[in-house]
Amino acid sequence: MDITEFISNILGVGSDFEATSIELKDSKKEIHIHLKYLPKIYKKEGVDLRIYDYAPERKWQHLNWFEFKCFLTCSLPRYQNSDGKVTTIETSFAPKSRSYTHKFSESVIFHLQAIRVQNTVAKLLQTTAYIVRSIMEDAVNKALETRGFINDFKNVSLDE
């Protein structure tokens, strides 16, 4: 296993992406891992779609490496759907329209369960309280959707 394959595996980005380079920004205490999308065809719902072009480079916060804040960067491919609309692919490693990876999100939830203070978790993970709160709200909403909403209350009690 070579170093780029090792890094791609350890990041959890899947087989469609490859780590192409690592940039150390020592003064900012940051590591930027650059990814490349490998397939020439994008498969969506069993249909092969030709890649139209590439979106501007995006950046996602990932799990810290040692004392360094870690980011994944990539120009995601875009495809033209049947309506003629150009759409950016969705990644398996990050939620749609978010600036962090699933692994980072899992780490935030793990820390929140132990610490329960959003600002402290944000400081520990070198992110903002806004991002911690948005991850927490997404997790709560997902759990409520999974559990389902309760409509047939018989008794309700309120305290203070």
Predicted pLDDT at 153:
82
How many whole angstroms separate alpha carbon 38 and alpha carbon 3?
17
Answer yes or no: is pLDDT of 110 > 90.
yes
Q: Which residues 6+ apart lie within 8 Å of 101 measured at CB?
A: 12, 60, 61, 62, 63, 72, 93, 94
Is the pLDDT reported for residue 154 higher than 90?
A: no
Per-residue pLDDT of 44-94, as tens digits, reads 888 888 899 999 999 999 999 989 999 999 999 999 888 889 999 999 999
pLDDT range class, residue 4, cuts 50, 70, 90: confident
Q: How far apart are CA 160 and CA 154, in angstroms?
A: 20
Cα 115 from Cα 105, distance rounded (Å): 15
Q: What is the pTM of this model?
A: 0.86
Exposure string of 106-133, with b = 16+ CB inside 10 Å and e = fewer, is ebbeebbeeeeebeebbeebebeeebbb
Please, what is the average pLDDT of the chain?
92
**DSSP state string for 5-25:** HHHHHHHT--TTEEEEEEEEE
Residue 40 contacts residue 10 (beta carbons within 8 Å):
no
Q: How many CB atoms lie within 10 A of CB 1?
A: 7
Model confidence at 149: pLDDT above 80: no
What is the chain's alpha carbon radius of gyration, rounded to the nearest angstrom? 19
Q: Domains of the chain: which residue ranges?
A: 1-91, 95-148
Token pair recorded at residue 8: 């791609």
pLDDT reading at 129 higher than 90: yes
* Residue 145: partners with Cβ closer than 8 Å, 6 or more residues away: none
Comparing 16-20, 42-46, 122-126, the range with the smallest average pLDDT is 42-46
